[in-house]
Amino acid sequence: MSSSNKFKKEDFVIKKKDVSQFLKGLSDYTIYAPHNEDDTILFKAIVNPDEITLQFTNSVKPPKHIVLPQTETMLKITRDKEKGYKIDEPELKEKNILFGIRPCDAKGIAILDKVFSEDYEDPYYTKRRKNTILIGFACIDPHRNCFCTSVGGSPDSTDGLDMLWTDIGDRYYVSVLTKKGMELIKKSDTFSKVTSKNTKVKDQVHKTANDKISEKFNADALPKKLGNMFEDKYWDNMSMKCLGCGSCTYLCPTCYCFDINDIEYRDKAKRVRTWDSCQFSSYTIHTSGHNPRPNKENRMRNRIYHKYKYHYDNYNVLGCVGCGRCITYCPVDMNIKATIKELTKR
Amino acid sequence: MSDIEGNIQAKVKKLLEDGMIKYFIGYESGSDPLHTTPCFIKKAEDVDKIVWNPFCVNNLVGYLTDDKKREIKKDEEKKTKSIGILVKGCDSKSLVQLLSEHKIEKNEVVIFGVSCNGVINPKKLEKLLNGKSIPLDSLTLQSDGKNYIVTSDKKKYSFPKDKIEMDKCRDCTQPNTLIYDEFFGEKIKTDAKKDYTAVEEIEALPLEKRWEFWSDQFAKCIRCSACRNVCPVCYCKECAVDSADLVITPQTTSVEKANKMPWLEKNVELAENIFFHLTRMMHIAGRCINCGECERACPMNIRLSLLTKKLEKEVKGMFDYEAGIDVEAKPLLSIFEEGDPGEFIK
């Protein structure tokens, strides 16, 4: 998916007061950015740069829904008595900018890229993805539940990004990583050359953020360890408190399971693809009534196996970016960090 | 360790050693000092994990029906022993409700009653702590009745109780567990009255404004089902909103399958979200005891307690009925009395 292979990376700075002007010049694009409403930070399509909040740790929902919407209309069918059936497919021409995405969530999108383009090219995802530019903001104040550095990421990781911006005081340090990113820079005269002092400050900001994630553990051993743990009693005990809701999976930047349904209404119908969650009992139920994952321990095991074994086996990368949302928002305080630590001890 | 905590541990230890309970459901320390998490104590040597403090927020009663829902039981679970459970005053109303609906029988549980001075809303406390840059790592908390004294990094901070406790605690009429086998702590007297100010504020809005308010709330929903799954009275194995949960046996005919009406589609759109929430509200009317778990579990901060409070207010006003008070009471919607108001079905 990345076109950065032959691109020579370049760095710039932009004054904070000029950001609004830069964004206003991008009127060809829909800009999705973090927005604070009632203490809930979410990415939304913004009309005015004033709506953006950059004072945030991370959004409640990762912005993966910009490339993988929770509900995607794949086609619409209209029945006409004279003309018969008419089928409309979405054009997906919209050009998007994801402004202010955190490196962990961008890495999540890089993980989704492989899923939706390697074995089979999913036209909906890939079209959207091709038309989306990711402007990342280095994480400066990681949340206590963050553990990106234990799963191959970092607060300044560039995976999946077209640009990485770092707050260096009165300006942002802008690392341009792809041709797509450079094209945006060229549209504006608000960017200037970096000084060696700028670079020093940027490096220090990155280092400070990395140091703040004090808890580190090694998840690399998990794909192998899990190989022998399928029938372990551990799953029965650890999953007892799980409610079987889908908040961990729906708030996860790498979960991508979906379901497809046809919805009819009189002379109209649409085929929709919606997110699905392996934590729901209906997820694997067969038409026969047989459910291969009947209990929540089976479903919880699947979630952990997918993230730390199956995904690694298939794509050579863990299916977790360490954003910590599944800990923060779990109604029963399920702690995936504790799970990983416990599993690595075995 | 408080006396209450020690006494609970000792009693659980005794019951487990005597083989009176198969396990005990209580609280243990969570992922950080602001959270506890449900725990299931199966062995006498693990009782020192049990904690009792103002962070014991979760309503544990739902786990009693959860235990019955497990499709495949392991041998040790087939024993007919009781389950021990720690139940706060508010949560005990949901236990009474489940007993009155015969979802659990009294001889299946050993109820640990407790007096509760209110529990803390971690979101509220965290916001105040962040505002003063108070580190969480070594945080401890004590109460002097009106205030919570937080100690962090050897410094003390005082927070008024009503600023950081759960909303439901502010008009709590049930500080002591209603029915119990053992009681821990001194019983608390209260003359508190239910406060419906927040509900009345919404009621006072013109229709359009109310529609706007609830549309905004429900538009946020990601349909993770956390509200439903955390709810102690949402115990149905097959839920009206999970159309895929139709249990199909070899005897199920194709006509039966075709006629299985999907009441709710999976597409996450406002109309479907409203249907989800209002259906749930109708199903819990006269049964919900306002433990507030649905609102607490919601990652998107939907104000579900306003709806459950409204249910409580209507049920009380129309039928002079309160859920979860009397084990012998018949469920509200299964009884009819001559004096019942009929305006709502005209």
Per-residue model confidence as pLDDT tens digits over A24-56: 999 999 999 999 998 899 999 999 999 999 999
Beta-carbon contacts of residue B131 (< 8 Å; ≥ 6 apart): none
Q: Is residue A221 classed exposed, middle or buried when 0-12, 13-18 and 19+ CB atoms within 10 A define those classes?
A: middle
Q: How far is B269 from chain A (nearest CA, A)?
A: 8
The tokens of B149 are what?
Answer: 């004294």
- What integer pLDDT is reported at residue A67 of this predicted model? 97
CB contact under 8 A, B30 and A60: no
Residues of A within 8 A of B40 (CB-CB) are 237, 240-241
pLDDT mean over A275-289: 86
Per-residue model confidence as pLDDT tens digits over A109-166:
999 999 999 989 999 999 999 999 999 999 999 999 999 999 999 999 999 999 999 9
Residues of B within 8 A of A276 (CB-CB) are 266
Per-residue model confidence as pLDDT tens digits over A164-221:
999 999 999 999 999 999 999 999 999 999 999 999 999 999 999 999 998 888 888 8
Going by their DSSP bridges, the two strands A10-15 and A163-167 should be labelled as unpaired
Per-residue model confidence as pLDDT tens digits over A218-257:
888 899 999 989 999 999 999 999 999 999 999 999 999 9
Backbone angles phi, psi at B115, to 5 degrees: -95, 135
- What integer pLDDT is reported at residue B263 of this predicted model? 80
CB contact under 8 A, B40 and A241: yes
- What integer pLDDT is reported at residue A9 of this predicted model? 92
Percent of chain B residues past pLDDT 90, beyond the cut? 74
* 3-class DSSP state of B291: coil
CB contact under 8 A, A243 and B230: yes
Beta-carbon contacts of residue B83 (< 8 Å; ≥ 6 apart): B21, B22, B23, B24, B25, B64, B67, B108, B109, B110
Cα A132 to its chain centre, rounded Å, is 13
Banded pLDDT at B269 (limits 50, 70, 90): very high
Dmax over Cα atoms in chain A, in whole Å? 72
Interface test with A, best of B225, B298, B303 (most A CBs within 10 A): B225
Per-residue model confidence as pLDDT tens digits over A329-345:
999 999 999 999 999 88
Q: How distant, in Å, are the alpha carbons of B166, B221, B264, B275, B284 from that of B271? A: 30, 11, 10, 6, 20
Residue of A nearest to B26 (CA): A241
Higher pLDDT, B20 or B71: B20
CB contact under 8 A, B224 and A244: no
Beta-carbon contacts of residue B100 (< 8 Å; ≥ 6 apart): B324, B326, B327, B328, B329, B330, B331
Specify whether the CB–CB gap between B288 and B282 falls below 8 A.
no
Backbone angles phi, psi at A272, to 5 degrees: -120, 145
Specify whether the CB–CB gap between B184 and B99 falls below 8 A.
no
Higher pLDDT, B222 or B255: B222
Specify whether the CB–CB gap between B51 and B29 falls below 8 A.
yes
Backbone angles phi, psi at B4, to 5 degrees: -55, -50
CB contact under 8 A, A39 and B127: yes
Per-residue model confidence as pLDDT tens digits over B92-118:
999 999 999 999 999 999 999 999 999
Whether residue A4 is predicted with pLDDT greater than 50 in this model: the reply is no
Banded pLDDT at A265 (limits 50, 70, 90): confident
Contacting A residues, span 99-158, partner chain B, CB-CB under 8 Å: 144-145
CB contact under 8 A, B31 and A263: no
Contacting A residues, span 205-264, partner chain B, CB-CB under 8 Å: 236-237, 240-241, 243-247, 249-251, 259, 261, 263
Closest Cα to residue B194, out of B117, B309, B305, B287? B309
Percent of chain A residues past pLDDT 90, beyond the cut? 84
- What integer pLDDT is reported at residue A94 of this predicted model? 92
Secondary structure (H, E, C), A224-272: HHHCCCCCCCHHHHHCCCCCCCCHHHHCCCCCCCEEEEEEEECCEEEEE
Residue of A nearest to B68 (CA): A295
CB contact under 8 A, B226 and A327: no
- What integer pLDDT is reported at residue B19 of this predicted model? 92
Whether residue A274 is predicted with pLDDT greater than 50 in this model: the reply is yes
Whether residue A289 is predicted with pLDDT greater than 60 in this model: the reply is yes
Residues of B within 8 A of A327 (CB-CB) are 31
CB contact under 8 A, A335 and B30: yes
Closest Cα to residue A330, out of A268, A246, A267? A246
Half-sphere exposure of B13 (CA within 13 A, CB side): 12
Residues of B within 8 A of A236 (CB-CB) are 74
Interface test with B, best of A42, A60, A332 (most B CBs within 10 A): A332
Q: What is the mean pLDDT of chain B?
A: 91
Q: Is A39 on the interface with B (CB under 8 A)?
A: yes
CB contact under 8 A, B226 and A294: no
Whether residue A77 is predicted with pLDDT greater than 60 in this model: the reply is yes
Residue A172: its H or E element: strand A171-176
- What integer pLDDT is reported at residue A73 of this predicted model? 95
- What integer pLDDT is reported at residue A5 of this predicted model? 58
Give the number of other Cβ atoms within 10 Å of residue B305's Cβ: 21
Q: How far is A273 from chain B (nearest CA, A)?
A: 8
Q: Is A45 on the interface with B (CB under 8 A)?
A: no
Higher pLDDT, B6 or B71: B6
Give the number of other Cβ atoms within 10 Å of residue A163's Cβ: 25
Residues of A within 8 A of B225 (CB-CB) are 244-246, 280
Banded pLDDT at B8 (limits 50, 70, 90): very high
The tokens of A260 are what?
Answer: 């497809």
Nearest-CB residue to A274 (from B39, B127, B268): B268
Specify whether the CB–CB gap between B289 and B94 falls below 8 A.
yes
Banded pLDDT at B245 (limits 50, 70, 90): low
Q: How distant, in Å, are the alpha carbons of A38, A122, A206, A323, B181 from that of A154? A: 29, 29, 9, 10, 52
Backbone angles phi, psi at B284, to 5 degrees: -105, 0
Interface test with A, best of B223, B231, B291 (most A CBs within 10 A): B223
Tell me the CA end-to-end span of chain A in Å, nearest whole number. 37
- What integer pLDDT is reported at residue A218 of this predicted model? 84
Q: Which of A135-139, B3-7, B153-157 has the lowest mean pLDDT?
A: B153-157
